[in-house]
Amino acid sequence: MEESWKEQLKEEFEKPYFLQLVDHLKAERALNKQIYPAGNHIFKAFEKTPFYQVKLVILGQDPYHGPGQAHGLSFSVQDGVPIPRSLKNIFKELQTDIGISIPLSGNLSSWAEKGVLLLNASLTVRANEPASHSQIGWLQFTDAVISHLSANKKDLVFLLWGKFAQEKQLLIDGHKHCVLKAAHPSPFSADKGFFGCKHFSKSNDFLMQKGYDPIDWKL
């Protein structure tokens, strides 16, 4: 994990729930459980987007649980992996909103390097078992991440897509930050308020109004 995040979150790493979380992951690996993403990718969002560089947060719920997909960034998949349907819909809205051609790869690393924190609420999952690690302590950890961002930065944009993400609004100071909400980009809900939300242009409008450079959404 990048040093600025280690400083922000040092107290979390010492709390009993986090030590239990680590023990839980070790125990599952000892039983040869397949866990995604790989260990060196679990904190990839924090490596790619240092605390001091965060401008915008896109909150996901769970890592992808299929082989080769998850690599520590919400909604993102590794190069060469078929683009998941929710991400396809994100790309469609991106094209409609600001005219960017739909990318051939679903790897969002370049967004992360431009200040977009791609944060999943749970940072691991067992293979083929959605939400299998949602009760082992990750939610407490990532709630702390969101709270630290809200308290210690200003003028951030939070994109909350779907009911689960929108429940995190309670952790965010809406007087200091811009919170944009829409339906989840899943095929089951994208046409119920995600398509047409214009969150990419609205995010940049807010950042520019506050005197920051807009995010270059090209991959």
Backbone angles phi, psi at 55, to 5 degrees: -120, -25
The per-residue DSSP string of 27-59 comes to HHHHTT--EES-GGGTTHHHHHS-GGG--EEEE
> Which of these is catalytic: 23, 62, 143, 216?
62
Q: How far is CA 38 from CA 33, 44, 113, 205, in A?
A: 12, 10, 20, 36
Tokens of 123: 């940072």
| 62 has catalytic annotation | yes
127 vs 42: CA distance, rounded Å: 14
Cβ 148 vs Cβ 171: under 8 Å: no
Q: 56-60 and 116-120: which strand pairing?
A: parallel
Q: What are the residue numbers of the active site?
A: 62
